[in-house]
């Protein structure tokens, strides 16, 4: 039996992905920019099994729900079609994201799965091809293939991959406020925004020029401009989400309090900017110098953890099992 193990880390977007132009191929309506972080990896083992009559998937040692296994199988189908192999596989994933970290697990999860599956089925993929494959599992997974800052391009299937971006040395302070499950999944919420919000076309158009500005800021090593864009774009995404029908709101009063505290820290001279994904927890983009004082100050509002730039997806073991 052929097996491979791969590891990948989550990413936090500075310019957000929120909306698709093609749901089947997971092509985004606009490009995005993120930081792959150096904490909470997912490690995934894919073992081909000649005798199996279906794929299996376990997460942290527990057999996954049917829907989750179907998403894993759908990605394996793409790999099998390219490899010309129809053998099913057993997939075992260990996620080190604590259930209370409030970080999305699908980016690291599908990035690790894509890397392990490609290796187990004998595909030699460069990082572009691996990013395109991971994208088919979950859009944000395309960015976790890449270390550190990564831009994920919009475009057709061939053009839509993530690649590294040089930029300022940054840290993030993750402020955990809630441990509850999100009320509406990102996938469903983005669809509702696209179908019902009158602001959606403006969101897509503005994200394009926002990304251009963020990439310029990276090129110029301009932390302040990158931070301002990060907070602005997060606020615009949450404004869009709140304009959906039926309405969706991920931020809580506690989240808003962290945004306010970050603004106060800035007024006091700290370099820090807030963002939030499809949930109440807030992530603060900051500099290596200000990470500690910012984290200390925000600790009264939630549990804080400082993270930095992390590695891209990597195969850490491969072999033939008897
Ligand atoms: C992002 N999010 O750019 C944005 C910001 C959440 C908020 O990418 O449908 O789980 O699997 O492609 O990748 C979450 O979206 O959605 C996400 P699918 P995914 O990080």
The tens digit of pLDDT for each residue in 98-157 reads: 765 567 789 999 999 999 999 999 999 999 999 999 999 999 999 999 999 999 999 999
Which residues partner with 89 through β-bridges?
Answer: 48
More confident residue, 247 or 286: 286
CA distance 301 to 247: 26
Q: Please check whether residue 250 is in contact with residue 278, taking contact to mean a CB–CB distance below 8 angstroms.
A: yes
Quick one: pLDDT at residue 178?
73
Q: Please check whether residue 56 is in contact with residue 91, taking contact to mean a CB–CB distance below 8 angstroms.
A: yes
Task: Kindly state the average pLDDT of the residues 60-84.
Answer: 96
Quick one: pLDDT at residue 138?
97
Is pLDDT of 288 > 70? yes
Q: Please check whether residue 173 is in contact with residue 288, taking contact to mean a CB–CB distance below 8 angstroms.
A: no
Task: Kindly state the average pLDDT of the residues 70-84.
Answer: 98
User: Within 13 Å, how many C-alpha atoms sit on residue 279's CB side?
Assistant: 20
- Ligand 1 lined by 26 (C-beta under 6 Å): yes
Quick one: pLDDT at residue 251?
94
Nearest of 124, 160, 165 to residue 36 by alpha carbon: 165
> What Rg, from alpha-carbon coordinates, does the chain have?
19
- Ligand 1 lined by 104 (C-beta under 6 Å): yes
Q: Please check whether residue 175 is in contact with residue 303, taking contact to mean a CB–CB distance below 8 angstroms.
A: yes
Q: What's the CA-to-centroid distance between 247 and ligand 1, angstroms?
A: 18
Quick one: pLDDT at residue 204?
98
Least confident of 72-81, 94-103, 301-310: 94-103
CA distance 142 to 278: 18
Quick one: pLDDT at residue 104?
72
DSSP 253-275: HHHHHHHHHHHHHHHTT--EEEE
- Ligand 1 lined by 138 (C-beta under 6 Å): yes
Is pLDDT of 181 > 70? no
Nearest of 303, 287, 286, 304 to residue 295 by alpha carbon: 304
0.85 surpassed by pTM: yes
* Mean pLDDT, the chain, integer: 95
- Ligand 1 lined by 278 (C-beta under 6 Å): yes
Quick one: pLDDT at residue 103?
72
71-75 own/partner pairs: CB under 8 Å, 24+ apart: 71/137, 72/113, 72/137, 74/136, 74/137, 75/110, 75/113, 75/114, 75/117, 75/133, 75/136, 75/137
Q: What's the CA-to-centroid distance between 189 and ligand 1, angstroms?
A: 10
For the CA of 277, the nearest atom of ligand 1: 7
Quick one: pLDDT at residue 295?
98
Is pLDDT of 1 > 60? no
Quick one: pLDDT at residue 319?
87
User: Residues near 77 by Cβ (< 8 Å), separated by ≥ 6?
Assistant: none
- Ligand 1 lined by 131 (C-beta under 6 Å): no
Predicted confidence band of residue 2 (pLDDT cuts 50, 70, 90): very high
Q: What's the CA-to-centroid distance between 17 and ligand 1, angstroms?
A: 6
More confident residue, 92 or 96: 92
Q: What's the CA-to-centroid distance between 270 and ligand 1, angstroms?
A: 29
Quick one: pLDDT at residue 102?
61
pLDDT, tens only, 20-57: 999 999 999 999 999 999 999 999 999 999 999 999 99
- Ligand 1 lined by 162 (C-beta under 6 Å): no
Quick one: pLDDT at residue 311?
98
pLDDT, tens only, 194-246: 999 999 999 999 999 999 999 999 999 999 999 999 999 999 999 999 999 99
Is pLDDT of 97 > 90? no
For the CA of 11, the nearest atom of ligand 1: 20
- Ligand 1 lined by 69 (C-beta under 6 Å): no
Task: Kindly state the average pLDDT of the residues 285-289.
Answer: 98
- High-pLDDT (> 70) share of the chain, %: 97
For the CA of 185, the nearest atom of ligand 1: 10
Q: What's the CA-to-centroid distance between 135 and ligand 1, angstroms?
A: 10
Q: What's the CA-to-centroid distance between 19 and ligand 1, angstroms?
A: 9
CA 201 from centroid of its chain's CA atoms: 23
């Amino acid at each position: 039996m052929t097996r491979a193990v791969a590891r990948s880390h989550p990413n936090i977007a500075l310019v957000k992905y929120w909306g698709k132009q093609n749901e089947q191929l997971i092509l985004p309506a606009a490009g995005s920019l993120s930081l792959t972080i150096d904490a909470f990896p997912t490690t995934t083992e894919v073992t081909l099994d000649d005798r199996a009559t279906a794929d299996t998937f376990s997460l942290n040692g527990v057999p996954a729900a049917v829907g989750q296994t179907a998403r894993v199988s759908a990605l394996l189908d793409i790999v099998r079609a390219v490899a010309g192999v129809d053998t099913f596989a057993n997939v075992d994933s260990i996620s080190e994201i604590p259930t209370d970290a409030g970080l999305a697990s699908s980016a690291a999860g599908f990035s690790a799965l894509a890397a392990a599956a490609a290796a187990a089925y004998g595909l030699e993929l460069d990082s572009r091809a691996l990013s395109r494959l991971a994208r088919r599992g979950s859009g944000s997974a395309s960015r976790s293939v890449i270390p550190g800052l990564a831009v994920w391009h919009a475009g057709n299937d061939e053009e839509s991959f993530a690649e590294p971006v040089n930029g300022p040395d940054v840290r993030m302070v993750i402020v955990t406020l809630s441990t509850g499950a999100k009320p509406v999944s990102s996938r469903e919420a983005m669809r509702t925004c696209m179908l019902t919000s009158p602001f959606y076309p403006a969101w897509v158009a503005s994200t394009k020029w926002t990304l251009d500005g963020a990439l310029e800021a990276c090129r110029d090593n301009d932390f302040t401009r990158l931070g301002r864009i990060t907070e602005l774009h997060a606020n615009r995404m949450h404004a869009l989400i709140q304009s959906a029908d039926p309405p969706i709101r991920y931020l809580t009063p506690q989240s808003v309090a962290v945004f306010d505290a970050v603004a106060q820290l800035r007024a006091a001279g700290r370099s820090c900017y807030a963002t939030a994904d499809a949930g109440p927890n807030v992530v603060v983009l900051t500099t290596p110098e200000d990470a500690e004082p910012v984290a200390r100050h925000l600790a009264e509002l939630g549990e804080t953890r400082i993270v930095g730039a992390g590695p891209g997806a990597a195969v850490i073991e491969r072999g033939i099992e008897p």
